[in-house]
Amino acid sequence: MTAAVQTDHINGTIQKIQWRILPFLIVLYIIAFIDRSNIGFAALKMNPDLGITSTQFGIAAGLFTVGYFLFEVPSNILMHRYGARKWIARILFTWGAVAACTGFVNNYLQLAIVRTILGIAEAGFFPCVLLYLTYWFPERQRARVVALFMLALPIATLIAGPLSGLILDHVHWNGIASWRWVFILEGLPAVLLGFLALRILVDNPRDAKWLTVEEKAWLAGVLESEAAAKVKQHGTVSFWSSLGGVRIWLLAFIYYAKSVAVYVLAFYSPQIVKGLSHTLSSTAVGLVNGLPYAVATLVMVWWARRSDRTGERRWHVALPLFVAGIALVLMALSAGNLWVSIVLLTVITAAIYAPYGPFWAMPSLFLTGSSAAVGLAAINSIANLGGFIGPVAFGALKDSTGSIYAGLAFVSLTLVAAGILVVRLRFVKEAERRLRAKLRPTVAT
């Protein structure tokens, strides 16, 4: 088989797998992120109705990540044991029901409790999918595949903004406040998708009837070879090392910084946009808020493809973090200028989302098997505490200073610190060197 024919065969297999599993997973993550972040849009009317301050809102919104943190590692272990199909469906059923129930809270305490339960219900979904993707895709394609999956994040906000704005402005059925309908109408689709997950998802390539025997054999051979190379280079990673080893904590802090920024944007950007012009309706706020995420969608794919093509990961994570950190500081200089602020928000959003693919390609450079199940969940659960600390700190700074800019400076410093750390990760640098060696053209056989 010539190198060209072999390459076409490999690309054809990868594309077949992508089209079979990625679109559905993307839809699931779109719904997941809408259900965890739509509180930012509902807050435009919910906070005045319930008498919730910015600090209280930050705590309630961020409590989602506390519940997520506590149950994420156990959830991923159970998925590795029982299979993705059943476990992801279980997650969908429970989080959809809890998300819809958020529409029935009557005070701050009830909101805080429901948000914590929502985190518990959804715990493990994201690392479950990351682990699931390692069953199907070799290292060389992983950054691009993860970035394609994570297009769900900007797409979710792109959808949630206009949709939530329309519901807030126009849906007052049966005398129920419109912000309650935001939670109810956007929570129920997850329950319906749970039934579809049982029919569509396949636990592993061995059970995929739509792959040929040759395609299964090739994929199994590549994945086994990569796993053996990782064990040879790094040794077998124990349970405790995959849960709390130094490399895990370093990667967790980098992702923590991103979580701080992502959740501050998710929960507060509707209020930030509304504060830039008090004449904007809720629908207009949703549309304006969605523009940066449309740009981020394109940048994510391009940046991940570039990372895969070059085999470089560290700077593909660090550079966007530096750009976002600088743009956050510049927001203070654009105060009062709606369009300059929107441009800067677009730069910030695109820069924060760009590193997702390259970042999640890094843990799989040394984690395999059950250690991957635990390690991926540990990184995500530890890091997602930024989804609590970020909104709480931002809300407290906003209440104490009367301005959003102290909070933005806090996010900026966190991102810059993470960017400095990631370029100094020696174990990633060594893995990049091996990956680039594999990317060199092979001689036809």
Concatenating the DSSP letter of every residue in 185-234 gives: HHHHHHHHHHHHHHHH--SSGGG-TTS-HHHHHHHHHHHHHHHHHHHHHH
Return d(Cα 322, Cα 317) in angstroms, integer.
9
**Weakest-pLDDT range from 90-99, 205-214, 266-275, 415-424:** 266-275
Q: First-to-last CA distance in the chain?
A: 6
In this model, does residue 324 exceed pLDDT 80?
A: yes
User: Radius of gyration (Cα) for the chain, nearest Å?
Assistant: 22
In this model, does residue 242 exceed pLDDT 60?
A: no
Written as six digits, the tokens of 4 are 């060209």
In this model, does residue 263 exceed pLDDT 60?
A: yes
Q: Using an 8 Å Cβ cutoff, are 162 and 287 in contact?
A: yes
What are the phi and psi torsion angles at 192 (to 5°)? -65, -40
Q: Where are the alpha helices (DSSP H) in 102-151?
A: 108-122, 125-134, 142-149
Burial of residue 15, with CB atoms counted within 10 A of its CB: 0-12 exposed, 13-18 middle, 19 or more buried: exposed
Burial of residue 70, with CB atoms counted within 10 A of its CB: 0-12 exposed, 13-18 middle, 19 or more buried: middle
Q: Using an 8 Å Cβ cutoff, are 70 and 120 in contact?
A: yes
Smallest CA-to-CA distance from 219 within 389, 12, 69 is with: 12
CA distances from 152 to 22, 296, 322 (A): 10, 11, 23
In this model, does residue 279 exceed pLDDT 70?
A: yes
Q: Tell me what the pLDDT averaged over the chain comes to.
A: 84
> In the prediction, which pLDDT does 432 show?
73
- Please tell me the total number of residues recorded for the chain in this structure: 445
Q: Using an 8 Å Cβ cutoff, are 181 and 42 in contact?
A: no
Q: Where are the domains of the chain?
A: 13-439
Neighbours of 115 (CB within 10 A): 24
What percent of the chain has a predicted confidence (pLDDT) above 70? Answer: 89
> In the prediction, which pLDDT does 288 show?
83
In this model, does residue 121 exceed pLDDT 50?
A: yes
In this model, does residue 438 exceed pLDDT 60?
A: yes
In this model, does residue 238 exceed pLDDT 80?
A: no
> In the prediction, which pLDDT does 326 show?
95
> In the prediction, which pLDDT does 319 show?
96
Smallest CA-to-CA distance from 62 within 356, 325, 260 is with: 260
Return d(Cα 105, Cα 179) in angstroms, integer.
11
246's CB contacts (< 8 A; 6+ apart) are: none
> In the prediction, which pLDDT does 8 show?
56
Q: Using an 8 Å Cβ cutoff, are 295 and 315 in contact?
A: no
Return d(Cα 31, Cα 100) in angstroms, integer.
12
> Which is more confident, 366 or 125?
125
What is the CATH number that goes with domain 13-439?
1.20.1250.20
> In the prediction, which pLDDT does 193 show?
93
Smallest CA-to-CA distance from 364 within 196, 149, 138 is with: 138
Cα 294 to its chain centre, rounded Å, is 16
Written as six digits, the tokens of 317 are 């994570």
In this model, does residue 231 exceed pLDDT 70?
A: no
In this model, does residue 195 exceed pLDDT 90?
A: yes
In this model, does residue 220 exceed pLDDT 60?
A: yes
Return d(Cα 88, Cα 92) in angstroms, integer.
6
The model's pTM is 0.73
pLDDT band at 233 (very low <50, low <70, confident <90, very high): low
DSSP-derived secondary structure letter, 140: G
**Weakest-pLDDT range from 232-246, 342-356, 391-405:** 232-246
Written as six digits, the tokens of 119 are 């985190």
